[in-house]
């Protein structure tokens, strides 16, 4: 794929960080957290080595349902575990880190959110913060698929190379990314329409500086009521334009001479234009699993946390996960979430003398 990218004018780099990400874009072998053929999670890297420490308890299969308050001070959490509701008190403060879907859900169920929306569900309002659950962002993704001439055994993460590029020459930084996947994959709609081959590879494209914004809302007051996700992917016309440019670039690279020996045929989308291409992209649209920004940091009326991750209007409560990002990063979100966690740890150590 790196040779194919070079053939259309995309420079290659030693890795996808630094010069490549902060410049005009490029192609590289992917940086992935892989050890002995297995991808490593943040939990495996940070927490697992300390599972035997007496001051650490990891409780799996537990659902945090709401925060416990004394006035506007958070004193602990309520959780559902092993068929029962439990209360866990906090000696100093509570740090929420369940991610950009569950963090706003817990906040809203606890009475922190838009006052009118909470009152409609009969949830007592603790703090009116209309930005909770708003500003939802994700990297919308779409698949271009080729059938293998001869199947190759998958390796490591099954996604070994990537490129970042600009959908328009007037942009200052890249706004689209594609990863090469060593398996055939697509949305349910396009899988049914085109049919996935038994063996193949995919150029998994994405719009990485989206202008579309979605929102989350509670469907009921019960913690087990599901949350409604209105992702609003591709709702902004600029995102659709970027997606079209990304698919066209993927097809140019995927059908290049460098990759021809590995392609028996192009499965999808084929040489389609105009409304047909837009339809393919909308049917292909799926998450890149980079959901963020639903409890953003800032100083405007829609902000939820301040620069030290404190939730506005209540005390002894912070948020430390991807929901605090004002906008989704131009790139994968794992490393930024690690940085958020590291900075949260610094703040806690300094403020509490740990």
Please identify which of the residues 290, 308, 316, 352 carries the catalytic annotation. Answer: 290
CA distance 55 to 193: 53
Asked if 16 and 28 count as a contact pair (C-beta separation under 8 A), the reply is yes
Asked if 160 and 182 count as a contact pair (C-beta separation under 8 A), the reply is yes
Torsion of the alpha carbons at 53, 57, 61 and 66, rounded to the nearest 10:
-150
CA distance 23 to 58: 41
Nearest in space to 328 (alpha carbons), one of 337, 320, 319: 337
**Rounded to a whole number, what is the largest CA-CA distance in the chain?**
68
Whether the upstream peptide bond of residue 321 has omega within 30° of 0, thus cis, is no
> How many other CB atoms are there within 10 angstroms of residue 327's CB atom?
14
Asked if 340 and 323 count as a contact pair (C-beta separation under 8 A), the reply is no
Q: Roughly how many angstroms between the first and final C-alpha of the chain, as a whole number?
A: 48
Indicate if 290 belongs to the active site: yes
Give me the active site residues, please: 290
């Amino acid at each position: 794929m790196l040779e194919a990218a070079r053939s259309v004018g995309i420079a290659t780099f030693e890795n996808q960080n630094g010069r490549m990400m902060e410049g005009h874009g490029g192609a590289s072998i992917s940086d992935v957290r892989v050890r002995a053929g297995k991808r490593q999670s943040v939990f495996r890297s940070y927490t697992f080595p300390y599972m035997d420490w007496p001051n650490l308890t990891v409780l799996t299969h537990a659902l945090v349902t709401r925060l416990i308050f004394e006035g506007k001070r958070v004193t602990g959490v309520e959780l559902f575990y092993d068929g029962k509701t439990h209360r866990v008190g906090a000696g100093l403060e509570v740090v929420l880190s369940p991610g950009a879907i569950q963090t706003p859900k817990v906040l809203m169920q606890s009475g922190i959110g838009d006052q009118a929306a909470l009152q409609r569900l009969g949830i007592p309002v603790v703090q009116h913060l209309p930005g909770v659950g708003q500003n939802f962002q994700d990297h919308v993704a779409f698949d271009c698929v080729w059938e293998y001439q001869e199947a190759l055994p998958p390796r490591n993460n099954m996604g070994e190379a990537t490129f970042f590029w600009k959908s328009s020459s007037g942009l200052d930084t890249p706004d689209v990314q594609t990863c090469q996947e060593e398996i055939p994959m697509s949305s349910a709609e396009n899988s049914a329409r085109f049919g996935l081959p038994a063996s193949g590879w995919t150029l998994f494209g994405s719009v990485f500086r989206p202008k579309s914004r979605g929102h989350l809302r509670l469907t009921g007051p019960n913690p087990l009521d599901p949350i409604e996700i209105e992702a609003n992917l591709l709702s902004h016309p600029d995102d659709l334009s970027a997606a079209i440019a990304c698919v066209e670039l993927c097809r140019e690279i995927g059908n290049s001479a460098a990759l021809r020996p590995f392609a028996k045929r192009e499965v999808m989308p084929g040489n389609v234009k105009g409304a047909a291409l837009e339809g393919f992209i909308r049917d292909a649209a799926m998450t890149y699993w980079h959901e963020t920004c639903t409890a953003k940091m800032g100083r405007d009326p829609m902000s939820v946390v301040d620069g030290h991750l404190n939730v506005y209007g209540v005390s002894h409560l912070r948020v430390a996960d991807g929901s605090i990002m004002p906008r989704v990063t131009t790139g994968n979100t794992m490393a930024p979430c690690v940085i958020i966690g590291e900075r949260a740890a610094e703040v806690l150590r300094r403020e509490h003398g740990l």
